[in-house]
Structure 1
Amino acid sequence: MSIELHRRAVVADTHNDLLMAVAARPPASWARFFRERWLPQLRDGGVDLQVLPVFIDDGFRPEGALRETLRMVEAAHVLAEGNADEVSLCRDGEEIDQALADGKIALVLALESAPGVDADVELFSTLHRLGVRVASIAHWGRTPLADGSGEDATGSRLTAAGVEAVAELERLGVIFDVSHLGATGVEHVLELATRPVMATHSSARALRDHHRNLTDDQLRGVAATGGVVCVNFVAGFLSADPAEYTLDRLVDHIEHVASVAGIDHVGLGPDFIREVTLELTPPCCEDMSALAGFDVNATVPGLEGPRGLPLVTEALLRRGHPEPDVLQIVGGNVHRLFQKELGRPA
């Protein structure tokens, strides 16, 4: 029954760094590598809607950040064009619905911290032209737009350029992503927002007191905009105790977000980073484990990658959640948000 429901659902994953693994290969192999390595995992996991974040390694920052951003955006277009029978790079809700109707996986491009933009906010318009439809403005540390959650001690709000960025993204119809943003920055965004915002991969701070997770007030704030909080699967964000790196603990976070923000405002943001970090040589980006304070490659058993997503549906049903609620959690809420907001100018 759970497999049937999972296959019937629109399953949305709002954060998988697979584009980093694709772009690390020679351009001639981008489409083939995606088809051989990632497409089977997405199909086995029942993924219908996949957000592809563009994350830039430290080695490219700051001078090469824009170049690498454009290279990863190009990789997304190439892999989509080279697998047009299976996936479609979508710019709005209509294109997503058409992809789903055609049996394809709808891909949506996102920026994670946007180091290629920095304070040149007009470049968001350029990247919008290239298909970017979700964006955040900070990662662990400080950017010209805002401080990431690793800098929470500063208590800083958005910079003037950051405030301009929120307005520009809203104008373009690019959904603002608060994941990784510092706590005071999240509050600032929620004060400014006139359109729905989302957290693409953040769990509940009430259950795991880590700066990358969102407080109950922040959960309510995202919901108040009409947005969605998509729960992160990275084990260390679920518990400080490795004995609790379990599927049940993940469901605890999903249930907490639903109870605080409302069933209409919770989704899945797995952040399946283990395969990406282990296969890239040298290891990608910053030393994420040192920044996080735990081994970021530790996973919930069975949830090492997209193939495990049916386990989440099964666990929700086992907890007694009715089918309509499960359909919303595993992707219906994200699908609805994207149908309404994605790529729609203010």
Structure 2
Amino acid sequence: MTDGSRIGSLIDEVLRGTPVFDGHNDLPVALRAHNGGSVEGLAEGRPDLHTDLPRLRAGGVGAQFWSVYVSSGLPEPEAAVATLEQIDAVYRLAARYPDALRIAYTAAEVESAFAEGRIASLLGVEGGHSLAESPGVLRSYARLGVRYVTLTHNDNTSWADSATDEPAVGGLNATGRAIVAELNRAGVLVDLSHVAESTQRAALAVSTAPVLFSHSSARALNDHPRNVSDGVLELLRDNGGVIQLTFVPYFVSAEVADWSRALQEERARLGLPATPWTWPRAPRPGEDPERVAEEYARALAAGAVDPVRGWLDAHPRPEVTVAQVADHVEHAREVAGVDHIGLGGDYDGVDHQPVGLADVSGYPALLRELAGRGWSRPELEALTGRNVLRVLRAAEDQAPDPLWPTTPLR
């Protein structure tokens, strides 16, 4: 057997035994923007998206945290309403494709979905602004099956500092610490992607359950504010949590991060916003989702690439390789240990992914790269899903007041 055949056989065995349990996929907001919230067309393939059912199967995905992201620029009460709309989108997704997807709330239900040949579908709230500082809202999300909350998105909340905003509270204030305690009590994972290092350290100090980084990379390899320092990786190891390494080129590659900053400077020079993306509205009662999607497409096109086309032609985007992503995975393993790593691709949350990892069918390419570097089957299985299942189960076992549903919702 050739090395290529041996590695291919190994990857097949890994994905049969422990499919990929990905930490972060933004399909719900992509459907909101491109489809007006409609969930149609995913069984046949959607080349305009990173995610559809055939490519999830090809990628060996067995469980997915679907991000129910809403913009942190929304007023918090509006963000709470929009988050409920995004939760509804995931339930509609699972109901539309019941042979392929199954809503799951617990580690045991994830494993049951694996055994049935379906993709376990879990909910992750991306940003504490969606809580609107309300313990009741937090508990309501938990009762709907939300299994992690990212403490911030790109903007601070009044109680936690974001990695990409100016420090305001020094990590977590008393309200933030109380929210972490409430998440622990309800069995909802504390997600520390997007938050400032001060917030990461504060949350790790007070959380009584293992935490998650749903989609982050290693700061030692690219000094990006969204990445995680070695000091925090060591604290994560001691906490028992997991960092799910992401594929986002801006986080993986310093060259791409520099290119992105230069593009933002050019847009600023032209008086344009840093990004043409805006929060897409949901259809009103009785309104055709297709018409809403067309409205959004027109608005997006008006501020997209045309004003900076000349700059883009003169400054082509650098590409990122599978090997560079593997470097981040290996670095996190070296610092935190093989029991504390996972994968969080952030598909449909960014406009461009690494060569070979362009969509959700790409996970086997990364596993082949790691296998070629000597990773064993148990080590690969720890990365693909075993570690995240352990953390999910630990949050359940340590929750004094678990609130996830005991029967499937419709």
TM-score by length of 2: 0.75
Q: 2:160 aligns with which of 146, 150, 166?
A: 146
User: 321, 324, 340: which one pairs with 1:265?
Assistant: 340
Shift of 1:59: 6.3
Q: 1:340 aligns with which of 375, 378, 394?
A: 394
Counterpart in the other structure of 1:304: 358
CA deviation vs aligned residue, 1:306-335 (integer Å, no higher than 9, x gap): 111110110010111112111111222112
**CA distance 1:191–1:53, shift in 2 (3 Å):** same
Q: Is the 8 A contact 1:177 1:200 kept in 2?
A: yes
Matched-pair identity in %: 35
Q: How many correspondences in the alignment?
A: 323
2:124 to 110, 116, 127: 110
CA distance, structure 2, for counterparts of residue 134 and residue 92 of structure 1: 12
Q: Which piece of structure 1 moves more, 219-228 or 176-185?
A: 219-228
Deviations 1:239-284 (CA, angstroms, capped at 9, x unpaired): 21246721111111101101110100001111113xx5xxxxxxxx
Shift of 1:187: 0.7
Partner of 2:174: 160
The answer as to whether partners of 1:6 and 1:310 remain within 8 angstroms in 2 is no
How far residue 337 of structure 1 moved from its aligned partner, in angstroms, is 2.1
**2:134 aligned with 1:123:** no
1:282 aligns with none
Residues 59 and 156 (structure 1 numbering): CA distance in 2 closer, same or farther, change over 3 Å? closer
In the alignment, what sits opposite 2:232? Answer: 218
Structure 1 residue 82: Cα displacement: 1.9
Q: What amino acid sits opposite 2:238 in the alignment?
A: A
- Whichever residue aligns with residue 177 of structure 1, its letter is D
Q: In the aligned structure 1, how far is the partner of 2:364 from the partner of 2:352?
A: 20
8 Å contact kept, 2:233–2:335: yes
Q: Which protein has the larger Cα radius of gyration, Structure 1 or Structure 2?
A: 2
Are the counterparts in 1 of residues 321 and 356 from structure 2 also a CA contact under 8 Å?
Answer: no
Q: What is residue 19 of structure 1 aligned with on the other side?
A: 28
How far has the Cα of 1:65 moved from its partner? 1.0
User: 2:326 aligned with 1:251, yes or no?
Assistant: yes
What is the distance in 2 between the residues matched to 1:343 and 1:140? 31
How far apart, CA to CA, are the structure 1 residues paired with 2:204 and 2:23? 20
Query: 1:122: how far off?
Result: 2.5
- Structure 1 residues without counterparts, runs of 5 or longer: 277-295
- The equivalent of 1:289 in structure 2 is none
Task: Give, in whole Å, the separation in 1 of the partners of 2:166 and 2:207.
Answer: 21
Question: How far off its partner does 1:21 sit?
Answer: 1.9
The answer to whether the 8 A contact 2:154-2:163 is kept is yes
Aligned partners of 1:166 and 1:58: how far apart in 2? 19
- Deviation readout 1:153-181 (Å, 9 max, x if unpaired): 55712122211110000000001100001
Which segments of 5 or more consecutive residues in structure 2 lack a partner in the other structure?
1-8, 47-51, 257-317, 401-410
Q: How does 1:219-238 map to 2 (within 5 A)?
A: 219-238=233-252
Cα deviation, 1:90-123, whole Å, max 9, x if unaligned, reads: 1111211111111110011010003221211331
Report if aligned partners of 2:72, 2:154 keep a CA contact under 8 Å in 1.
no
Matched, 1:35 2:43: yes
Deviations 1:196-239 (A, max 9, x none): 00101111111111110011111111121111111111112112
Q: Which amino acid aligns with 2:66?
A: L
Q: Which residue of 1 aligns with 2:300?
A: none
Report the 3-state secondary structure (helix = DSSP H, G, I; strand = E; otherwise coil) of the residue aligned with 2:128.
coil
Q: Note if contact 1:175-1:342 (Cα within 8 Å) is conserved in structure 2.
A: no
The answer to whether the aligner puts 1:321 opposite 2:335 as a matched pair is no
Q: Aligned pair in 2 of structure 1 residues 120, 343: CA closer, same or farther (>3 Å)?
A: farther
